[in-house]
Structure 1
């Protein structure tokens, strides 16, 4: 069985958990001897060779063929006047204008050359790149032999739909996050429409949590029979032994993630303020970037806790590992988190975690403290307890490390492959 898989990014060039999840799944597929053709808009040349990679920027298309004209007519071309990042909140998703230019071949040469060089980034032409990516996907599905199509999240859904339209093979839509997770009730209608179209066109849907499945059912009107929940995992389940040393004498409590509505950074700051009032010998770290960063810096200044609060900006690679290693507590206070791999990474570094009940990872990580994202009193009490009662901290470390061993990508991949087989047979 050959799988034609469409993503938008792949490590080491990532901006969020989607790329990490794709990498884990593909590596898990390798352990199950599954053949994967993985397509991304732009390859950088330093990707781990775990799949048969296809660089969409290298694909030549003859857009004058009728089949491609039909695909193009079904796409939406949007000229975007602000920079959009698919993982961020509503402040990124602002002014854009919808044009219907697909039937006007006087713009063919400006719209498409035989090849289109994708930026591979999340810029002002994102929606146009999503549409072009879909057209290239149609060509790839014509050229590459495959048995099933797998598309990750809304950026790749149009590509999956186009590939299915050309090859007739079944489509799996993998939902890692929805527009409601990213933006709350202030959804970008165009993104929502793309998500819904992908879910409706799919022969089957994979959701990363029961929480996500419930959203798909209630918000997108999809039948529950069409959705299978398969939780994410962690790349390596072994506990990391490290020699990282803190440069400060105080205990360290860390928030690591995008500083956006979805991740609940404001609740972390309010809880930090309560903890510092009880024990000033604690430092709090907010590692990440996002549209709420400046607002969070201002709030810390208003609370007069700047000397105990640090903003590191976006971290990756070894810097992330070191941050986890020197942390005494990791907190993920997400308002809406489809899954959330970072708490599993914290457990790998032997760091006890506090996670919101509104996260998908809470469904599989049982040995962690769970609080409602809005309950800053409970969050503060939990932080204080883990910092001051060694027995509680040690218990969560030990039980969490045992639990982590069950959360392997090989097991996730086996479940995904079983879903492929069932979908093909149907």
Structure 2
């Protein structure tokens, strides 16, 4: 079986859990004898591909006049918005990805061809790139043989719709997050409509948790029988990352890692830290990541007079993140709304017990984690202090959560995805 897969990012070029999940899914499918052609807007050349074939949409030549352009225009209403849509973007890289570029075209013996350039980022031209990605996807779908189309998150939904229309092959959309997770009640309607259209056009919708499945059914009016839940997993640690440093100081290290946005609850983490430090100074807190609230959180820690106990190392990935987790005593994910949350699984993989919010999808698969309500900073502080201070609880959660993690792997989860493919191809 062969799958044509579209996603906006692929490791090591990631902004969060989306790219990590895409690698895990593609790797798991390969282990289940499914050949994966993974299309990203921009290929960098050093992707962690393995047996997965990665193609950059910016490298694809499109014949002109292109037959599917008219069909695309009939399918979508395209308009520009005055404000940038930056769901996974950091202030540090906004200027780079916001640069404009021009379409390349040339004449060949077979007629005129064109090629769209892509930044692959989340800048002010994001919706334009989503549109061009969809056009390119339709061309790719006519140039390759495959059985099913699988797309990840709303940025790739238009590409999946057009690839399906061009090829006549079934479409699976994978919802890793919704606009309600990213924006709360203040949603961007253009993003919402793109998400809803993708789910309506799909032959099957995969949700990363029951929490997300309920949002898809209730907020997007998608028939329940169309939506299946397949939880995320985590890849094993690469051999080169297993030799990790010991902790360079005596204080207990409490770690938060993720996008520093409202969705992730960073302010609650800082408030809980302040409550602990009022009674016990034997702690250090790390907030790793970048996002639109980073500067505000640095200021908030200073305002609470706890900056000397806080570290803000920026966005970490790969070996850097593994090193941080290796010296951590407790990992905390206080998300306000988290469709799944792969990072707690990565912490458990590194031997760190976790505290997670009940507003997360990952709590559905972890029994041996302390669970809190995101805004309850007193409960969060008590859980952090207890887990870091009492060795018996620490050892119990570390041991049992590792056993849970061993039963949750991408090969197993990808098997369920393959079953979705087989059902669709047998009835399409």
Q: Would you say same fold, with TM above 0.5?
A: yes
Q: After superposition, where does 1:8-19 map in structure 2 within 5 Å?
A: 8-19=8-19
The residue aligned with 1:68 is 69
**Cα deviation, residue 188, structure 1:** 0.7
**Cα deviation, residue 144, structure 1:** 1.0
In the TM superposition, what whole-angstrom CA distance separates every residue of 1:2-51 from its partner, at most 9, and x where no partner exists? 21111111111111111110101111111111111211111111122322
Question: Is the 1:87–1:182 Cα contact (8 Å) retained in structure 2?
Answer: no
Matched, 1:219 2:219: yes
Matched, 1:2 2:5: no
Q: After superposition, where does 1:5-404 map in structure 2 within 5 Å?
A: 5-47=5-47, 48-79=49-80, 82-87=83-88, 114-236=114-236, 242-404=243-405
In the TM superposition, what whole-angstrom CA distance separates every residue of 1:329-380 from its partner, at most 9, and x where no partner exists? 1000001111101111111111111000111110001111001111111111
Distance in 1 separating the partners of 2:119 and 2:364? 36
Shift in alpha-carbon separation, 1:332–1:203, aligned structure 2, 3 A: same
Question: Is the 1:75–1:131 Cα contact (8 Å) retained in structure 2?
Answer: no
Moved more, 221-230 or 69-78: 69-78
The residue aligned with 2:100 is none
Q: 5+ unaligned residues in a row in structure 2: which ranges?
A: 95-102, 106-111
Distance in 2 separating the partners of 1:171 and 1:420? 9
Moved more, 194-203 or 162-171: 162-171
Paired residues, number: 409
Shift in alpha-carbon separation, 1:243–1:173, aligned structure 2, 3 A: closer
Question: Is the 2:339–2:361 Cα contact (8 Å) retained in structure 1?
Answer: yes
In the TM superposition, what whole-angstrom CA distance separates every residue of 1:168-189 from its partner, at most 9, and x where no partner exists? 1110010000001111111111
**Cα deviation, residue 86, structure 1:** 2.6
Shift in alpha-carbon separation, 1:398–1:167, aligned structure 2, 3 A: same
Distance in 1 separating the partners of 2:338 and 2:379? 19
CA-based RMSD of the aligned residues comes to: 2.2
Moved more, 171-180 or 241-250: 241-250
Question: Is the 1:237–1:405 Cα contact (8 Å) retained in structure 2?
Answer: no
**Cα deviation, residue 166, structure 1:** 1.0
**Cα deviation, residue 424, structure 1:** 2.1
Moved more, 18-27 or 229-238: 229-238
Question: Is the 2:244–2:323 Cα contact (8 Å) retained in structure 1?
Answer: no
Distance in 1 separating the partners of 2:113 and 2:82? 23
Distance in 2 separating the partners of 1:214 and 1:278? 41
TM-score (norm 1): 0.92
Distance in 1 separating the partners of 2:8 and 2:50? 16
Q: Which runs of 4+ in 1 moved over 6 A?
A: 237-240
Distance in 2 separating the partners of 1:219 and 1:167? 30
The residue aligned with 2:108 is none
Which SS does the other structure have where 2:285 is aligned? strand
Shift in alpha-carbon separation, 1:325–1:127, aligned structure 2, 3 A: same
Q: 5+ unaligned residues in a row in structure 1: which ranges?
A: 94-106
Question: Is the 1:241–1:349 Cα contact (8 Å) retained in structure 2?
Answer: no
Question: Is the 2:89–2:122 Cα contact (8 Å) retained in structure 1?
Answer: no
Distance in 1 separating the partners of 2:353 and 2:265? 19
Question: Is the 2:39–2:57 Cα contact (8 Å) retained in structure 1?
Answer: yes
**Cα deviation, residue 238, structure 1:** 9.7
TM-score (norm 2): 0.91
Which SS does the other structure have where 1:278 is aligned? coil
**Cα deviation, residue 318, structure 1:** 1.4
Moved more, 176-185 or 233-242: 233-242
**Cα deviation, residue 311, structure 1:** 1.1
Distance in 2 separating the partners of 1:80 and 1:45? 32
